[in-house]
Amino acid sequence: MAQAKAAASSPEIDQSLRQDIADMQALKVERTPGFFVNGSLLREFGELQLKALVAQELARPKPNS
């Protein structure tokens, strides 16, 4: 338990959590779990909704490489 507590308070974990918080704020994540497809948030959870979002993302024009 002591080892886990020490690891949890390490600078690496702190930085990782700070990055997660920054990402959450940038993506406007308001709750978890959340599902994203290519950065697009699945606003209503469900199999059909997920399939529709994937299809929408696949239909987007691809940027020129």
Give pLDDT, residue 22: 94
The b-or-e profile of 9-48 (16+ CB within 10 A means b, else e) is: eeeeeeeeeeeeeeeeeeeeeeeeeeeeeeeeebeeeeee
Q: Is the pLDDT of residue 65 over 70?
A: no
Contact 49, 57 (CB under 8 A): no
pLDDT digits (tens, 9 = 90+) for 37-59: 988 888 888 899 999 999 999 99
Beta bridge partners of 40: 37
pLDDT digits (tens, 9 = 90+) for 8-45: 888 999 899 999 999 989 988 777 777 889 888 888 88
How much is the pTM? 0.48
Give pLDDT, residue 39: 84
Token reading at 27 = 């993506």
Give pLDDT, residue 16: 92
| Count of all residues that appear for the chain in the document | 65
